[in-house]
């Protein structure tokens, strides 16, 4: 029986890929979700003696997300010491000034991935682990963008603000003895998402040069470093003491 069963969305690249690799250990069963399987991760899991199940799903497709959430729940067998859900997959698209945010399907896709799929996965996770005598934790990977406005990011900021509030509602409902959740900003991390941000149209994203400077000046955090700190945070006794948090608060 696994000591830890950990579920990570968006584990194929960036922060999620680093989290997945950081969690590989004998006694860990890792369940990952992304639009593609990761053969390298499968090899790393085998070498580390960890159990791995990769679920290929487009989480912006709600029927797919619902099926995947039920599949994940069925894999959360009783008897482990820890059950972790890290809702990490996300998108910054569409980047456009509010007056130009007219592509309803693109906006809906972002909300589906950044918010609705998180809610579906969390609902099935919470149901599956209800009553388990085990550590049960949800970490939603949020962003400073959910807490401070950034021009051009009307969609992204709104999804992350929604994620923060959803996390608070979940904690209020679950109470002291239930599943504990945190909405955690990861800092500014050197991933494909930052590349996407640097490719934004300056006409729609006035902060473009600031983000180009982050990369040029070496100010971006490395995914493996951030993942290490997130994993350490997942193991803290005071996990969730601050429900809307930022990993940069933990050195």
Ligand X SMILES: NC(=O)c1ccc[n+]([C@@H]2O[C@H](COP(=O)([O-])OP(=O)(O)OC[C@H]3O[C@@H](n4cnc5c(N)ncnc54)[C@H](OP(=O)(O)O)[C@@H]3O)[C@@H](O)[C@H]2O)c1
Interface residues with ligand X (CB under 6 A) are 10-16, 34-36, 58-60, 88-91, 113, 141, 143, 185-186, 188-189, 191-194
Residue number, 2 or 114, with CB nearest to ligand X: 114
113: nearest Cα among 136, 141, 144, 85 = 141
Considering the complex, what minimum distance in angstroms separates the CB of residue 59 from ligand X? 4
- Token pair, residue 183, equals 């909405």
Considering the complex, what minimum distance in angstroms separates the CB of residue 102 from ligand X? 21
- Token pair, residue 185, equals 């900003």
- CB–CB of 183/167 below 8 Å? yes
Q: Any idea what DSSP says for residue 178?
A: S
Helix (H) or strand (E) holding 171: helix 154-174
- CB–CB of 55/30 below 8 Å? no
Considering the complex, what minimum distance in angstroms separates the CB of residue 205 from ligand X? 14
Residue number, 59 or 107, with CB nearest to ligand X: 59
Residue number, 91 or 200, with CB nearest to ligand X: 91
Angle 34-187-183 from CA coordinates, rounded to 5°: 65
Q: Give the Cα separation of 135 and 7 in Å (integer).
A: 14
Residue number, 89 or 135, with CB nearest to ligand X: 89
Residue number, 90 or 152, with CB nearest to ligand X: 90
Backbone angles phi, psi at 200, to 5 degrees: -70, 155
Considering the complex, what minimum distance in angstroms separates the CB of residue 10 from ligand X? 3
Considering the complex, what minimum distance in angstroms separates the CB of residue 94 from ligand X? 13
């Amino acid at each position: 029986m696994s000591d830890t069963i950990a579920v990570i969305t968006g584990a194929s690249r960036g922060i999620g890929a680093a989290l997945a690799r950081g969690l590989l250990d004998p006694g860990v069963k890792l369940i990952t979700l992304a639009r593609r399987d990761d053969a390298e991760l499968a090899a790393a899991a085998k070498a580390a003696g960890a159990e791995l199940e990769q679920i290929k799903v487009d989480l912006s497709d709600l029927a797919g997300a619902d099926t995947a959430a039920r599949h994940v729940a069925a894999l959360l067998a009783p008897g482990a010491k820890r059950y972790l859900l890290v809702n990490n997959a996300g998108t910054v698209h569409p980047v456009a000034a509010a007056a130009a945010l007219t592509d309803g399907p693109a906006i809906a896709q972002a909300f589906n991935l950044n918010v609705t799929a998180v809610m579906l996965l969390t609902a099935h996770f919470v149901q599956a682990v209800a009553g388990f005598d085990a550590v049960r934790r949800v970490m939603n990977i949020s962003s400073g963008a959910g807490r401070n406005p950034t021009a051009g990011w009307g969609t992204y900021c709104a999804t992350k603000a929604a994620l923060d509030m959803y996390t608070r509602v979940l904690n209020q409902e679950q109470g002291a003895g239930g599943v504990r959740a945190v909405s955690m900003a990861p800092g500014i991390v050197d991933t494909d998402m930052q590349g996407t941000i640097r490719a934004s149209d300056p006409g729609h994203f006035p902060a473009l040069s600031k983000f180009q400077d982050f990369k040029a000046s070496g100010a971006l955090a490395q995914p493996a470093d951030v993942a290490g700190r997130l994993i350490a945070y997942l193991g803290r006794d005071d996990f969730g003491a601050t429900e809307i948090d930022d990993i940069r608060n933990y050195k």
